[in-house]
Amino acid sequence: MARSRGPIREFVEYAAAWSALKSLGILPRRTALDLGKLVGLAAYRLAGGLKRSGRRNLEIAFPEMPSAERERILRAAFLNAGRQLGEFSQMPKLRTAEDAHRTVRFEGREMVMDTLAEGRGALFLTGHFGAWELSPYCLRLTGSPPVNFLVRRIDNPRVEALADRYRTLCGNRTIDKSKAARPVLAALARGEMVGILADLNTLEHEGVFVNFFGVPASTTAGLAVIALKTGAPVIPVHTRWDEKERRYVQTFEPELELIRTGSRDEDVLSNTQAFTAIIERWIREDPDQWIWVHRRWKTRPRGEASMY
C-alpha cells in the first residue's frame, strides 16, 4: 500500500523530478551523463543510509574482499546510478533505430526475433543492472514488438506519471507488479515480450528463498510460475556499460531449459534458483553496475535475525 503523503510534498517531489529531467534533457547526451555521474557522486557522499546498506550488502556478497575494493565498487555503483539519471532524461531524444544503435550494441537480438516468430512471446529474465530503463526502450526502437515490463509503482502519483510517460514514449508498456497476472498473459498471447526484474527482495508470502551469493534471499517466484504455466521461452538479458565503446552492450542469452519434475513447488524453487544464479553471475562479472544500496537480504527465514 502506498504511503500517505500530502499534496504539497507530492508537488515538491514532482517539481524536483521534473526539473532534473528537463534540465538534463536539454543538454547533449555526454554532458547529461557526466552531470548525472556528479549527482551520483554527491549521493555517495551525502546519502549515509543508502551507503550503509550498500556496504553491508557488499560485506555479505564478498566477505573475503578487501574493504577498499568493496568501497570502490560501491562508489562506482553510485556513479552508474547517476549516469542512468542522465540516460533517462535523454530518452525522449531517441526516436529511430539509428539512435538506438548509437546508444546500444545488441548481442543476440536476431535470436530473440526468431523466437518471437514462433508466436509464444518471450519472458525476459533481467535485473536492476547497468541500463535497465534504457534497454527495453532502445530494443523497441529497433523495430521489435512492444516490451512489457513489470514495475513497482512509485508512491508519489505525480512522479509515477512522469516516469511512466518517459518509459512508454516508444510504445512499450508498464505493468503494475501487484496486478500482473492478466496483463502478462495477455502480452504473451499477443506474441510480445515481458521483462521481469528478478533481483529485488520480496516479502515472504510473495517469493521463495534461494541462495544469492551463498545466502538465502527471498526472491520473486513469479517468473518461474508464469514460465511453467505458459511454456513461454525464458531468455536472460542484461545491459552493461562498456567504457571503451562509450555505449551499452545488451546481451541476450540462449533460451533456458526449464526444470520440470512434476512437482510444482519443487519446480518453482529450482527454476527460481537457476534464474538467480544467472543474475549473480552478471553481478560478479561487473559488480559496479548493480544497485548495491537495495536491501536484498531484508526478508529473512522465520527465526533468523535481521542482516541489517
In a domain? residue 75 = yes
In a domain? residue 308 = no
> What's the pLDDT band for 147 if we cut at 50, 70, 90?
very high
pLDDT at 1 (0 to 100): 44
Question: What is the pairing mode between strands 215-220 and 173-176?
Answer: unpaired
In a domain? residue 306 = no
The arithmetic mean of pLDDT across residues 230-253, rounded, is 96
**Residues constituting the chain:** 308
What DSSP state is assigned to residue 168?
Answer: T
- Write down the H helix ranges in 127-221: 134-141, 157-167, 181-189
> What's the pLDDT band for 166 if we cut at 50, 70, 90?
very high
Mean pLDDT of the chain: 95
209 pLDDT higher than 60:
yes
**Number of structural domains, the chain?**
1
pLDDT at 68 (0 to 100): 98
CA distance 207 to 54: 23
CA distance 194 to 276: 18
231, burial (CB in 10 Å: exposed 0-12, middle 13-18, buried 19+):
exposed
The arithmetic mean of pLDDT across residues 51-59, rounded, is 97
In a domain? residue 131 = yes
Q: Are 180 and 225 in contact (CB under 8 A)?
A: no
Question: What is the pairing mode between strands 147-151 and 247-252?
Answer: unpaired
In a domain? residue 253 = yes
Q: Are 123 and 73 in contact (CB under 8 A)?
A: no
185 pLDDT higher than 70:
yes
pLDDT at 210 (0 to 100): 98
Q: Is 45 helix (H, G, I), strand (E, B) or coil?
A: helix
Q: Which domain holds residue 95?
A: 7-289
CA distance 65 to 76: 16
CA distance 308 to 296: 10
pLDDT tens readout for residues 95-126: 999 999 999 999 999 999 999 999 999 999 99
As a whole number of angstroms, the longest Cα–Cα distance in the chain is 55
Residue 18's CATH number? 3.40.1130
5 pLDDT higher than 70:
no
> What's the pLDDT band for 7 if we cut at 50, 70, 90?
confident
pLDDT at 2 (0 to 100): 46
> What's the pLDDT band for 28 if we cut at 50, 70, 90?
very high
